[in-house]
């Protein structure tokens, strides 16, 4: 059994940034890229059911006030043309979400206090012995890779597995330009550690230790040395973690405290207990619904007609299957 887990907003809106043309052309291509990504993942990895994960208001905003506060500033900085285009994209996205909820047999997950990343991670945790393919360009999800979990990037057309990065078209390894060798799979523990230390400007998560080097010097310990000592928590770990620094407002920070705060924000397997309970309830309710919608093919064709998705309509049978497949309750 292989679940195709779609990071829905990411897949739809990320495609927008690689497309040229007017708004209607961009919208059409964004839907094309999403549909093609789902079809390819379904076919290449023998998918059995599609799960669309939608965004809610993140619990992280309640425990860390600056979280994603920069998004409003980015929205305010848009030109009038960009705001108009953004409004159209959200209208189409909402229409797509209504389509998958009411006119397909795909599972659709949304929780008011969680992000799509949280739903994807929890679905995987609840189904540890089944296979999963995440459709997303989000690097935050790289931390979930295991022998049972892959990530497919429909924009770059690459697949990340526990064995490394692969070209989705040819199946050949992606060559790292610096190493001049196949790009290796990331160390999932290192991903979480480095992000917790460096923070994440895109989500407005501040660094636990600004300016820290990846590799240390004779006089200063770097992230690599501390990471290597993470289990023993000996001199190297404590030397770094017990360091203090002062921000531009004169506030003193201890690295360990900021690191633990950040880790709780970025580690997708470390949601608070009440959030896990909410996610489990959302998943259980979706599974209990056990959708059984008929004539999905006709409904799919109507959606394609609404947005002039002619190429998809011509091969509708190939695209409809993932939307029609019911969840196997065994």
pLDDT tens string 154-170: 989 999 999 999 999 99
Q: For residue 40, what pLDDT is reported?
A: 96
Q: Is the CATH code 3.20.20.450 the one for domain 2-186+271-324?
A: no
Residues pairing with 173 in the sheet: 166
Q: Could you state, in order of their start, the residue ranges of all structural domains in the chain?
A: 2-186+271-324, 188-266
Q: For residue 72, what pLDDT is reported?
A: 80
Same fold, 2-186+271-324 and 188-266: no
For all residues of the chain together, what is the average pLDDT? 94
Average pLDDT rounded to a whole number, residues 95-113? 97
Q: How far apart are CA 174 and CA 294, in angstroms?
A: 41
Pick from 128, 171, 179: nearest CA to 1: 128
- More confident of the two residues 14 and 114: 114
Give me the CATH code for the 188-266 domain, please.
1.10.150
Residues pairing with 175 in the sheet: 182
pTM of structure? 0.94
- More confident of the two residues 77 and 201: 201
pLDDT above 90 (res 18): no
> DSSP per residue over 74-116, as a string?
HHHT--HHHHHHHHHHHHHHHHHHHHHHHSSSSEEE--TT--H
């Amino acid at each position: 059994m292989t679940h195709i887990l779609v990071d829905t907003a990411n897949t739809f809106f990320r495609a927008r940034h690689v497309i040229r043309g007017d708004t209607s052309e961009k919208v059409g291509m964004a839907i094309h890229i999403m549909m093609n990504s789902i079809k390819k993942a379904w076919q290449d990895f023998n998918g059995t059911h599609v799960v669309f994960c939608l965004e809610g208001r993140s619990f992280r905003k309640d425990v860390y006030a600056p979280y994603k506060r920069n998004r409003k500033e980015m929205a305010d900085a848009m030109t009038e043309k960009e705001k108009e285009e953004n409004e159209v994209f959200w209208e189409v996205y909402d229409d797509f979400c209504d389509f998958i909820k009411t006119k397909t047999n795909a599972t659709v997950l949304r929780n008011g206090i969680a992000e799509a990343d949280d739903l994807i991670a929890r679905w995987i945790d609840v189904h540890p012995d089944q296979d999963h393919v995440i459709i997303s360009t989000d690097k935050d999800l790289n931390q979930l890779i295991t022998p049972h979990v892959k990530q497919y990037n429909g924009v770059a057309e690459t697949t990340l597995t526990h064995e490394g990065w692969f070209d989705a078209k040819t199946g050949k390894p992606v060559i790292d330009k610096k190493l001049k060798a196949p790009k290796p799979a990331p160390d999932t523990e290192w991903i979480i550690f480095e992000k917790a230390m460096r923070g994440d400007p895109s989500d407005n998560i501040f660094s636990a230790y600004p300016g820290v080097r990846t590799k240390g010097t004779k006089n200063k310990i770097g992230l690599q040395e501390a990471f290597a000592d993470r289990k023993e928590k000996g001199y190297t770990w404590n030397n770094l973690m017990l360091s203090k620094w002062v921000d531009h407002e004169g506030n003193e920070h201890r690295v360990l405290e900021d690191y633990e705060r950040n880790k709780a924000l970025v580690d997708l397997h470390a949601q608070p207990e009440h959030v896990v309970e909410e996610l489990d309830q959302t998943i259980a309710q979706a599974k209990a619904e056990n959708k059984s919608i008929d004539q999905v093919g006709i409904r799919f064709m109507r959606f394609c007609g609404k947005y002039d998705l002619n190429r998809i309509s011509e091969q509708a049978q190939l695209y409809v299957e993932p939307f029609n497949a019911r969840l196997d309750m065994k």
